[in-house]
Amino acid sequence: MKRWASQKAAREARIEVGSRHARGKVVALTELRDFMEAVLQPADRVCLEGDNQKQADILAGALADVDPRKIHDLHMVQSGVVLPEHLDIFEKGIARRLDYSYSGPQAARIARLLFGGHIKLGAVHTYLELFARYFVDLTPNVALIAAVSADADGNLYTGPNTEDTPTIVEATSFKGGLVIAQVKEIVDKVPRVDIPGDQVHFVVETGRPFYVEPLFTRDPAAITETQILTAMLAIKGIYAPYGVRRLNHGIGFNTAAIELLLPTYGGKLGLKGKVCTHWALNPHPTLIPAIEAGWVEQIHCFGSEVGMEDYVAARSDIFFTGPDGSLRSNRAFCQTAGLYACDMFIGSTLQIDLEGHSSTVTATRIAGFGGAPNMGSDPHGRRHPSEPWLMAGAEADPDTPTPLRRGRKLVVQIGETFGEKNEPLFVERLEALLLSDKLDLELAPIMVYGDDVTHIVTEEGIANLLLCRGRDEREQAVRGVAGYTDVGRGRDRKMVERLRERGVIRRPEDLGIDPRDADRRMLAAHSIKDLMLASGGLYRPPSRFRNW
């Protein structure tokens, strides 16, 4: 006779052996290695919490410390491959298979391990896509998560970095999996309950906070005048005419420049209240001046940002905060918001090809996707209209009669024609294709596909791909804003001129923008210190960003 509750029975058995190394639910650090070897089993599917920000670092270290003769062939299903330990476990043979989303700081090493065959790769996902699979075919047997504090019952407080935790716990705990949390301390009563204790089986008291990366802090001092020019183009040439109120920004300096130009340049254009009122965004420090100037109505966050805790807590009309006062972030909901409730995604990339495909992968670095492909895609399941969305749809498809014509999500790539280390942004062939050949991948790691991109902004101008009819026009529109790169110099000058006459390409002068006005004095803040001052001292930048 078939048994139908074998998963719960297996969990009970894990809890029983784990309890030998615990007092109630609480595991001491000294017992951690024995505990891990007791509760884990070879070939387990394990979710080790960690995205681009918070990390269950102590549990990652403990996992890398188990005896590979006892625990091996794990299948890791996790948002981020960020800490060295995340890859150590593959080198040691503790883990074998990997499904993940983001690997920024480990991009080079993960590529080497993939080439060397140390990792059997499932797929590189977007965050939301990986979360989706947690509920379908990548459900974890064990989740190793991170919180700030816990009570004796296992109720968890995550503080502002709630991020992926509720999603991971829900998928694991309700499907017979084991949930183990690292916390700084055990307290009598948690400041708020982010995860109910009955979903948590063990808690490890570590005595120190989990690791968090301040990934979204951009120093205004490092913003160049070329970036300011691209920001002016975006504001006047895209934000204003479409009236983009609901949006997501990428992580780069170009969008940081936009944030810092809203109260100054945007104000002069009379855009306050007309654009950038509702956001799916982490608490970017560079958004402080716009918030203080009353531009922003509401922000929902994927995660938090180091140093922004007090500022966010003091601005509960803008941010989602809990009864404890601090931010409540939630990556799954914020990605959903970015997908379905935002009219624009704008971000930078490393390479763009002639079809408008973009990628952040090089032949030796696999950075993963994070959330960009989810937010930088046109959601066919959307059914609510908005002005920017309808306007973009009409540009793309003027022929379909109105009630049957869908809108389009604005997906904007912004950057300088020559990026870091003077590498050209535009290429004939993406390095992502080299990589997919080398690894024999079925899909090249494309961040945003050309058919989803609506605009490309460089210092040379804006290419509106919505207005392109056919492949040739699209290619020339891309070339037409590619500056002095090889791709740009390969343009058909006549065709580019015709595209410009039709408004497919718009130069700064077409928009009434004088590039000489792109001056750093236009930024609402010129340094991290300015941001701190603009926040009334509430923003407390991490020490590495302080030079005063």
Under rule CB under 8 A, residue 318 binds its own copies: yes
Q: Could you give the strand order of the β-sheet that contains 156-157, starting from the edge strand earlier in sequence?
A: 156-157, 149-150, 185-186
Could you give the residue ranges of the DSSP H alpha helices within 159-305? 165-173, 225-234, 240-242, 253-261, 267-268, 288-292
Under rule CB under 8 A, residue 494 binds its own copies: no
Under rule CB under 8 A, residue 365 binds its own copies: no
3-state secondary structure of 221: helix
Binding-site member from 158, 227, 330, 413 for its own copies (CB under 8 A):
330
Select the span of 75-83, 171-179, 224-232, 489-497 touching its own copies (CB under 8 A): 171-179
218 or 315: CB nearest its own copies? 315
x/- letters, 83..102, toward its own copies (CB under 8 A): ----------------x---
| CA count, 13 A, side-chain hemisphere, 191 | 16
Tally helices (H) and strands (E) across the chain.
21, 24
Binding-site member from 298, 502, 544, 546 for its own copies (CB under 8 A):
298
- Number of residues engaging its own copies in binding (CB under 8 A): 97
Under rule CB under 8 A, residue 117 binds its own copies: no
322 or 483: CB nearest its own copies? 322
3-state secondary structure of 290: helix
Under rule CB under 8 A, residue 280 binds its own copies: yes
3-state secondary structure of 170: helix
x/- letters, 370..399, toward its own copies (CB under 8 A): ---xxxxxxxxxxxxx----x---------
For residue 209, what is the DSSP state? P
How many beta carbons lie within 10 A of that of residue 175, not counting itself?
A: 15
x/- letters, 449..488, toward its own copies (CB under 8 A): x-xx------------------------------------
- Rule CB under 8 A: which of 47-86 touch its own copies? none
Closest separation between CB of residue 475 and its own copies, Å? 15
x/- letters, 514..533, toward its own copies (CB under 8 A): --------------------
CA angle at residue 167 from 540 to 340, to 5 degrees?
85
3-state secondary structure of 157: strand
Binding-site member from 180, 334, 456, 528 for its own copies (CB under 8 A):
334
Under rule CB under 8 A, residue 192 binds its own copies: yes
Under rule CB under 8 A, residue 122 binds its own copies: yes
Q: What is the CA radius of gyration of the chain?
A: 24
Residues with Cβ within 8 Å of residue 137, at least 6 apart in sequence: none
Binding-site member from 423, 437, 486, 514 for its own copies (CB under 8 A):
437
Closest separation between CB of residue 539 and its own copies, Å? 14
What is the C-alpha separation between 545 and 548, in angstroms, rounded? 9
Binding-site member from 12, 16, 185, 317 for its own copies (CB under 8 A):
317
Under rule CB under 8 A, residue 423 binds its own copies: no
- Which has the closest alpha carbon to 58: 177, 184, 158? 184
Select the span of 19-27, 142-150, 168-176, 488-496 touching its own copies (CB under 8 A): 168-176
Tokens of 297: 């109505």
CA angle at residue 87 from 86 to 90, to 5 degrees?
115
Binding-site member from 51, 151, 170, 259 for its own copies (CB under 8 A):
170
Say how many residues make up the chain. Answer: 548
Under rule CB under 8 A, residue 3 binds its own copies: yes
If residue 181 lies in a helix (H) or strand (E), which one and from where to where?
Answer: strand 178-183
Could you give the residue ranges of the DSSP H alpha helices within 222-360? 225-234, 240-242, 253-261, 267-268, 288-292, 309-313, 331-340
Place of tokens 């992580």: 251
Closest separation between CB of residue 118 and its own copies, Å? 21
Select the span of 55-63, 179-187, 434-442, 460-468 touching its own copies (CB under 8 A): 434-442
64 or 344: CB nearest its own copies? 344
Give helix 253-261 / helix 225-234 axis angle, nearest 10°.
70
Pairing between strand 455-458 and 410-414?
parallel
Binding-site member from 56, 342, 346, 412 for its own copies (CB under 8 A):
342
Under rule CB under 8 A, residue 196 binds its own copies: yes
